[in-house]
């Protein structure tokens, strides 16, 4: 059964009278977590699309880029988007339920935030309302401010991620510990690791840019440490 077929099953539960937020609570374990990830990004993305006061075609089409929605499945994705956009439940309730689904601070929640950043930037602008929205969702997800800033700098033009922030270390951290942090991040970004935590193959490509950023940060830290060495 495809990811979108499972989403259709979740929608059947919605049509039977269950609220979208309640459906999140049933999607805690594989393979249902893949459905949960997709619905989380689409539903929170729909709520975020209203943060700047409008829902653009670019933002809607961004879902296709995140999930590579196959022909014939667009209607299922659109239904989730429209349900979330018109649901009376607030985005904070959605975010809290998604956090419980995956566990506060989990790597999967960072994957969800990255999907939301991709959607936020689909129209080429990053609205202050979107920034406040994403910062609050990250807070509810248990994602610390340093990690959130690093993700924002990767997606928002003009931003620059501090290499130490990207690697999750302080500037005075011993090089051996920085190397260990770098290797751990690379492992966590591997497609197998993403699949293990419920990220569907359709969305794994989101990690490609993250890996590039991690590698660039590691190269930059090495260069900085070489500059600091006495001649």
pLDDT in tens, 163-214: 888 888 889 999 999 999 999 989 888 877 877 776 666 566 677 777 888 8
- Output helix, strand, coil percentages for the chain, rounded to the nearest 5: 70, 0, 30
Average pLDDT over residues 116-122: 82
Assess contact for 114 and 37: CB atoms under 8 A. Answer: no
pLDDT tens column, 145-166: 888 887 887 788 765 678 888 8
Under 8 Å between Cβ of 96 and 42: no
pLDDT at residue 174, as a whole number: 92
In the prediction, which pLDDT does 32 show?
61
Given a cut of 70, whether residue 66 has pLDDT beyond it is no
Rounded Cα–Cα distance for residues 171 and 42 (Å): 37
Domain ranges of the chain: 3-228
pLDDT score for 15: 58
Identify which has the larger pLDDT, 177 or 44: 177
Which of 11, 136, 6, 1 is closest to 81 using CA atoms?
A: 11
Distance from C-alpha of 49 to C-alpha of 150, rounded to nearest angstrom: 22
pLDDT at 56: 57
CA atoms of 117 and 127, how far apart (whole Å): 11
């Amino acid at each position: 059964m495809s990811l979108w077929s499972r989403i259709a099953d979740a929608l059947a539960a919605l049509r039977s009278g269950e609220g979208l937020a309640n459906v999140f609570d049933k999607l805690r374990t594989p393979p249902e977590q893949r459905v949960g990830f997709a619905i989380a990004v689409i539903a929170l993305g729909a709520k975020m699309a209203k943060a700047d006061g409008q829902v653009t075609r670019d933002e809607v089409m961004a879902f296709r880029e995140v999930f590579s929605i196959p022909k014939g499945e667009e209607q299922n994705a659109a239904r989730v988007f429209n349900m979330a956009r018109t649901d009376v439940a607030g985005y904070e309730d959605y975010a809290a339920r998604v956090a419980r689904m995956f566990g506060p601070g989990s790597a999967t929640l960072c994957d969800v935030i990255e999907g939301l950043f991709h959607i936020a930037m689909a129209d080429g602008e990053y609205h202050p309302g979107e920034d406040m929205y994403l910062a609050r969702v990250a807070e509810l997800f248990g994602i610390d401010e340093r990690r959130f800033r690093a993700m924002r700098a990767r997606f928002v033009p003009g931003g620059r991620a501090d290499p130490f922030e990207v690697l999750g270390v302080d500037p005075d951290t011993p090089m051996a510990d920085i190397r260990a942090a770098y290797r751990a991040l690379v492992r966590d970004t591997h497609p197998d690791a993403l699949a293990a935590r419920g990220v569907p193959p359709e969305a794994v490509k989101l990690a490609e840019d993250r890996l590039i950023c991690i590698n660039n940060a590691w190269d930059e830290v090495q260069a900085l440490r070489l500059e600091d060495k006495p001649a």
